[in-house]
Amino acid sequence: MTNQFDGRIALDVRHNRGIWSEFSTRFERPEAEQRWGRSEVRWGLFGVPEGELHALGQIAGADVVELACGMGHLCAQLGRLGARPVGVDLSAEQLDGAAELQGHFGESFPLVEASAEEVPLRSSSFDVVVSEYGAAPWCRPGRWLAEAARLLRPCGRLVFLTNSVLAGLCVPDEGGHAGTELLRPQPVLRDVEWPGGGIEHHPGHGDWVRELRRAGFVVEALHELYAPEGAVTPENYEVVTAGWARNWPAEDLWVAQLS
Ligand SMILES: C[S@@+](CC[C@H](N)C(=O)[O-])C[C@H]1O[C@@H](n2cnc3c(N)ncnc32)[C@H](O)[C@@H]1O
């Protein structure tokens, strides 16, 4: 594992790192192991198959960097599809989990401890940047999108998953599932500190398009993810119920190309 931290990271990034280090020791390992064992890439709380969305494009033979890789299940799955993945995460504890799971599954790829806002990897060295509930909610949009653009080769692909704006508007402050009322003004979500939680960023769709274009991307798709028929409410994440997500999109999967 490469540790290139130099103490210059922003205060909100430090705050989020503390939160994630604690989560990883309390909750994450068993679920990460289960996800590592999955043979196919699935997106989001309700596991929408990549085979339905085709968000990732050509993966075999691609150099892929995952920003905020956590315990690395997506890197592992992409490696099995023939990619050369590199996982970047802010939390040493998350990366320790990833390293342990690499040993457990007998698979290996580089892990780099860094913020997605400042990645110590060479410019123009990846075909795909992917981020699953990682950089988008936890990093400042302008900062991490500029890094994603720097890391990609010309015409490289960016694929990222985050909570839907609508879910962000409807989840109660005190925790629990989203309801059917709008609980806050939308601009509040751009930089929001949840009580007892981290500092998150949930720009509206128009803001995302503007930020993506500013960083040099062209939007190819925005897949709004609903719960499929028969889906059950996830036990570990109190964000939306399956019933809610059958009616409204729970998550946004963005696909963009560097112009
Ligand atoms: C919800 S987890 C997602 C991890 C993985 N993609 C998954 O779906 O299991 C969020 C991850 O973002 C990481 N993270 C938070 N802020 C970050 C930042 N500024 N740079 C890189 N990683 C960050 C946390 O350490 C944590 O591993």
- Domain containing residue 117: CATH number: 3.40.50.150
Torsional class of 181: left (φ above 0), alpha (ψ -120 to 50), beta (otherwise): beta
pTM of the model: 0.94
- pLDDT tier at 27, thresholds 50, 70, 90: low
Q: How far apart are CA 233 and CA 254, in angstroms?
A: 23
- Is any ligand 1 atom within 6 A of the Cβ of residue 94? yes
- Asked whether the predicted pLDDT for residue 234 surpasses 50, the reply is yes
* Mean confidence (pLDDT) of the chain: 92
State which H helix or E strand residue 85 sits in: strand 84-89
pLDDT at residue number 24: 65
Kindly state if the Cβ of 96 falls inside 6 Å of ligand 1. Answer: no
Name the one residue in this structure whose structure tokens are 């897949």: 223
**Is the minimum distance from the CB of 13 to ligand 1 under 6 angstroms?**
yes
The rounded Å distance from CA 90 to ligand 1 centre is: 7
Is the CB of residue 250 below 6 angstroms from any atom belonging to ligand 1? no
Contact 40, 77 (CB under 8 A): yes
The residue segments making up the domain with residue 62 are 2-258
Q: Is 89 in the pocket of ligand 1 (CB under 6 A)?
A: yes
Query: Residue 215: pLDDT band by 50, 70, 90 thresholds?
Result: very high
Cα angle, residue 181 at apex, residues 178 and 185 outer, rounded to 5°: 95
8 A C-beta contact, residue 255 and residue 208: no
What sign has the CA pseudo-torsion 144, 149, 257, 78? negative
Structural domains counted in the chain: 1
Q: What is the DSSP letter of 27?
A: I
CA 85–ligand 1 middle distance (angstroms): 16
| Mean pLDDT of all residues in 70-76 | 97
